[in-house]
Structure 1
Amino acid sequence: MLCTAGVQLYAQTSVAIKDGEKWYGGAVNEAHLMPFKEGYNLDMYGDTRGNQAVPLLISTKGRFIWSEEPFKFTFEKNRLVISNAKSALTIDSAGKNLHEAFSNASKRFFPSKNKLPDTLLFSKPQYNTWIELVYNQNQKDILSYARAIIDNGFPPGVIMIDDNWADYYGRFDFRADRFSNAAAMVDTLHSLGFKVMLWISPFVSPDTEVFRELQDKKLLLLDGEVETNKEGEKVTKPAIISWWNGYSAVLDFTNPDAMQWFRGRLDHMVKTYHLDGFKFDAGDADFYPPNALSFKKATPNEHSRLWGELGLYYPLNEYRAMWKMGGEPLVQRLRDKKHNWEDLQKLIPHLTTAGLLGYQFTCPDMIGGGEYGSFIGKDKLDEQLVVRSAQCSALMPMMQFSVAPWRVLSKQNLAAVKKAVDIRAKYTPYIMQLVKTAATTGEPIARSMEYEFPNQGFTNVQGQFMLGSKYLVAPMIANGNTKTVYLPKGKWKSDLGKVVKGPTKIEVEVAADRLPVFELLNSY
């Protein structure tokens, strides 16, 4: 049986906004616009803004709004209007602040499963081959990149082989023209101390052997336009999806046989090439047309969520787009950021908002930026930006390199980046403690100031975050060396040893190799 995503619409709901109440939620990639201002609106049906999203809104007054399906929300003057809802709303007012609103929603709708992704993703830096090799993924250069990591004094961790390692999408074997012996390559990476992940997507190149096999087995999403042949029989064609690499068919994971087929191919890759896990790219809701025909009825958002279910079988996983999988042991990477200061300044609000939506195992985008288009035509990168990006990532749940710091930085700036890695190593035991706690309680690892210190006036503070409840991290994320830091109530000890009493606002001089961190000695 084939179904479209037709759904019942629920009546519009209007919620009065309380005095001083601020709201967050919806899509992670919109977090720099939070708390939401009058005039903001987003319809999450088929639109997760290229990153993670959840049908959840939470407020500084302890309220939350949840629905099992996507909805549209609009902030009007003193009112929050919910429309286009595809299922009933839950409006809960039991909490008193942002922390309690999150906790109540989490326990009820996306409780943590007491499971972790592979802990190497947190305990050591990650390295992705994308910016160095882009679409020229090949055995020789991947091994050179890995050896350069170690030769330049960086610790081995997870290494990710990015896109274009196969002859075409849907074929699960390394292309022979670039990989003479892929299994031996992976074995060598293992011997160097790395675990190896491989980029994959749900797409299948049209008019290929695999495409025809999947078409025959009825495992592809179908075009909603049904045609009739000469005999009067209904004919359905595979949906051809436009994405950043052209046009492809896409697997229909509402069909358990498609899920089984795909898992079989991944397991083949693990067995044949000794891989450790996968980077699950794409899967965005907007790659699933609302009128497409699928094995079971599903919204575009549900198709995206099903893509997330595959990662549950592989502890070494990473996603860039997700719908409603909070509390699960899935790694969520922020959307590709450009090589500029404006996008660096989005990392903290985006990452802390991911935590508010139940995505605790979150990775900032690649250090220096992962949107390769912003690197094109640049003979020389902004070295200070790369250094500050590394410092910003250093005490987030994960840090991921791609552009090779030893290639693009001066000796002095490379030393500053390596110092950021050393700083992470110092705090790693505490980070790992937070990771384990998040798996059981759902508590965010990286927290917004408003979450950790409710109602102290931090709703608009986006340039610093709390690592757990103990450390305030205030990286330099603008071009310069002076930063304003907001310290809540309590006694704070800076990374330079100075003790400061809060609440206060201080101006901090940030040397090129410094990551300002303030330890909360006691609160009162």
Structure 2
Amino acid sequence: MSIKYFVNALFVACILCTAAAFAQNKVIGIKKGESWYGGAVNDAHMAPFKSGYSLNLFADIRSNQAVPFLVSSKGRFVWSEEPFKFSFDNGQLIISDAVGSVVIDSAGNSLKDAFTNASKKYFPSAGKLPEMLLFSSPQYNTWIELVYNQNQKDILAYAKAILANGFPPGVLMIDDNWADYYGRFDFRKDRFTSPTAMIDSLHQMGFKVMIWVSPFISPDTEVFRELLDKKLLLLDGSNAKTADGTDKPALISWWNGYSAVMDLTNPKAQEWYRGRLDHMVKTYHLDGFKFDAGDADFYPANAISYAKATPNDHSRLWGEIGLSFPLNEYRAMWKMGGQPLVERLRDKKHNWEDLQKLIPHITSAGLMGYQFTCPDMIGGGEYGSFIGRDKLDEELVVRSAQCSALMPMMQFSVAPWRVLSKENFALIKASVEIRKKYTPYILQLAKTAAQTGEPIVRNMEYEFPGQGLSDVQGQFMLGSKYLVAPVVTKDHKKTIQLPKGKWRSDEGKIFKGPLALTQDVALNRLPVFELIK
């Protein structure tokens, strides 16, 4: 084992040398009218990228999904197996600080060509789907209602309220703080008196149940001492080069303090972690897991691990754990496009600015191979933006639900029956009914994506190349058939860019594109246009 740790230490020490070897800058001249996307999902509202944008993907995946891949509306793409830095400056795309070799491909003519060529070669679809209930019914997460006070009584009450208020059962997610500490895979007894009975009751109501987990281990606990003794945790490499030189764990600073972290480069660590998840399934009858954290920036580049790994590699290994469970969800991911993993957009605040990011983020996720994507929680999932608010922006919650309704998944957390007026609550339920109408088509697209890798929700330029739509961020295509244009601003104005073709609106009117259509959109309407010719 010490040889492996030594090899990894040598690898980490030489990362900069390796990067230097490959880092002869690659300069790509940007063609007239060419638009570039990719890199990190959480920066996608800045795409297509303009001069001045720069990102180094090494140990920085922007707390969401990322991939060492850039794709162009002119059919070109950039790929590497390892992270690199990219910058846009005065008509040039500059690739630098590459940890591995970089491929530049110019075989295609369009955004769709470039995506298809790259995905088939570098992130082909695995031919498998996540749990289909995630698509066919709304999801419900206990986070905003309970935050860190996850407990049996309130979880059951939340589930009963879902049904009592006329929502269909679906996947219910129990969020963080259900255990005594991180690394203990049993429900805390002070909040859960009969957890197995609780989950059995949820099953009887029609729900499938998943629970929040992370790769972190609370220090100074029995589990921590066991894992440290077995060297299944990342070790601190600040004053040592090999595992033989230290028994000090790498303590990671994250949003809940300081913790040790699993070394998933070690097969025995993977075996231990999967074993604890299997224990949760067997003991408590759980159906799956919400895999949080795993961000590359939580893994120090100088940490000592069992096998060589960059911080980005550690993020990918966390993603591989979820492949054992069809009912899964991730927020942070590196280079796992094409896999049957559910990817959630990063927590969005309860404001209009973050609502406007949903469409460019989720369409860019599709361009990076992440097709089974959830657009965060309706009304926002960043709980800090809810603190101290006596009243939410009800119109924002309604428009958020409409925006999610025809995306691959829709997830509730804040209880709309609690925070909305009777009239606005009825509009939330109407958005669920709209989704029901299109659910068979969404399921068909998900099955196709599992075979071909093609996005479920699509960038306008992807579906209609060369029509001047590369900058359009306020609408998306659901497959090749439906143009969806949710209102994502406080006013009711919406300008919809209809591409060439004959379009029938949700109101039954016929329009011929290309056409820029400006409308006043009532709060009870989600504009949808069907391509009929």
Q: Which interval holds the TM-score relative to the shorter structure?
A: over 0.9
Superposed, which structure 2 residues align to 1:274-293 within 5 Å? 274-293=285-304
Superposed, which structure 2 residues align to 1:382-397 within 5 Å? 382-397=393-408
After TM superposition, give the deviation of residue 417 of structure 1 in Å: 0.4
After TM superposition, give the deviation of residue 178 of structure 1 in Å: 0.1
Letter of the 2:376 counterpart: D
CA offsets, 1:426-481, max 9 Å, x none?
Answer: 00000000000000000000001111101100111100000000000000110021
Contact 1:226 1:236 in 2 (8 A): no
Aligned to 1:54: 67
Pair 74,227 (structure 1): closer, same or farther in 2 beyond 3 Å = closer
Instruction: State whether structure 2 residue 503 is matched by structure 1 residue 470.
Output: no
Letter of the 2:351 counterpart: N
Contact 1:128 1:400 in 2 (8 A): yes
Instruction: State whether structure 2 residue 247 is matched by structure 1 residue 236.
Output: yes
Partner SS, residue 414 of structure 1: helix
After TM superposition, give the deviation of residue 226 of structure 1 in Å: 3.2
Partner SS, residue 320 of structure 2: helix
Superposed, which structure 2 residues align to 1:442-521 within 5 Å? 442-521=453-532
Candidates 400, 404, 420, aligned match of 2:431: 420
Candidates 157, 170, 173, aligned match of 1:160: 173
After TM superposition, give the deviation of residue 321 of structure 1 in Å: 0.2
After TM superposition, give the deviation of residue 225 of structure 1 in Å: 2.1
Partner SS, residue 485 of structure 1: strand
Aligned to 2:189: 176
Distance in 2 separating the partners of 1:226 and 1:291:
10
Contact 2:235 2:246 in 1 (8 A): no
Aligned to 1:151: 164
Candidates 266, 271, 285, aligned match of 1:260: 271
Partner SS, residue 56 of structure 1: strand
Candidates 412, 415, 418, aligned match of 1:401: 412
TM-score normalised to structure 2 length: 0.96
Distance in 2 separating the partners of 1:453 and 1:508:
22
Distance in 2 separating the partners of 1:515 and 1:68:
40
Aligned to 1:101: 114
Contact 1:74 1:82 in 2 (8 A): yes
Letter of the 1:29 counterpart: N
Partner SS, residue 20 of structure 1: coil
Candidates 361, 364, 385, aligned match of 1:374: 385
Contact 2:458 2:479 in 1 (8 A): yes
Instruction: State whether structure 2 residue 443 is matched by structure 1 residue 432.
Output: yes
Distance in 2 separating the partners of 1:106 and 1:156:
35
CA offsets, 1:215-235, max 9 Å, x none?
Answer: 01100001112359xxxx832
Compare 217-226 and 45-54 and name the one that shifted more. 217-226
Letter of the 2:205 counterpart: L
Distance in 2 separating the partners of 1:347 and 1:483:
16
Contact 1:227 1:236 in 2 (8 A): no
Partner SS, residue 74 of structure 1: strand
Contact 1:225 1:236 in 2 (8 A): no
Distance in 1 separating the partners of 2:28 and 2:493:
41
Letter of the 1:422 counterpart: E
CA offsets, 1:327-359, max 9 Å, x none?
Answer: 000000000000000000000000000000000
After TM superposition, give the deviation of residue 236 of structure 1 in Å: 3.3
Letter of the 2:58 counterpart: Y
Instruction: State whether structure 2 residue 207 is matched by structure 1 residue 194.
Output: yes
Aligned to 1:340: 351
Contact 1:48 1:285 in 2 (8 A): yes
Contact 2:87 2:95 in 1 (8 A): yes
CA offsets, 1:111-130, max 9 Å, x none?
Answer: 00110000000000000000
Partner SS, residue 14 of structure 1: strand
Aligned to 2:56: 43
Partner SS, residue 189 of structure 2: coil
* Number of residue equivalences: 518
Contact 1:160 1:199 in 2 (8 A): yes
Aligned to 1:66: 79
Identity of aligned residues (%): 72
Aligned to 1:26: 39
Letter of the 1:37 counterpart: K
Partner SS, residue 532 of structure 2: strand
Distance in 2 separating the partners of 1:103 and 1:296:
33
Letter of the 2:36 counterpart: W
Distance in 2 separating the partners of 1:27 and 1:384:
30
Instruction: State whether structure 2 residue 231 is matched by structure 1 residue 218.
Output: yes
Partner SS, residue 177 of structure 1: coil
After TM superposition, give the deviation of residue 14 of structure 1 in Å: 1.0
Give ranges in structure 2 of 5+ residues lacking alignment.
none
After TM superposition, give the deviation of residue 22 of structure 1 in Å: 1.0
Distance in 1 separating the partners of 2:240 and 2:387:
44
After TM superposition, give the deviation of residue 15 of structure 1 in Å: 1.0
Aligned to 2:334: 323
Distance in 2 separating the partners of 1:504 and 1:186:
52
Distance in 2 separating the partners of 1:263 and 1:197:
15
Instruction: State whether structure 2 residue 146 is matched by structure 1 residue 133.
Output: yes
Partner SS, residue 213 of structure 1: helix
After TM superposition, give the deviation of residue 482 of structure 1 in Å: 1.8
Distance in 2 separating the partners of 1:13 and 1:152:
57
Superposed, which structure 2 residues align to 1:76-87 within 5 Å? 76-87=89-100
After TM superposition, give the deviation of residue 511 of structure 1 in Å: 1.3
Distance in 2 separating the partners of 1:225 and 1:75:
34
Aligned to 2:314: 303
CA offsets, 1:479-522, max 9 Å, x none?
Answer: 02121100000000000000000000111221111111000001
Distance in 2 separating the partners of 1:445 and 1:319:
18
After TM superposition, give the deviation of residue 267 of structure 1 in Å: 0.1
Contact 2:228 2:247 in 1 (8 A): no
Give ranges in structure 1 of 5+ residues lacking alignment.
none
Pair 178,32 (structure 1): closer, same or farther in 2 beyond 3 Å = same
* CA RMSD, 1 decimal: 0.9
Distance in 1 separating the partners of 2:469 and 2:396:
26
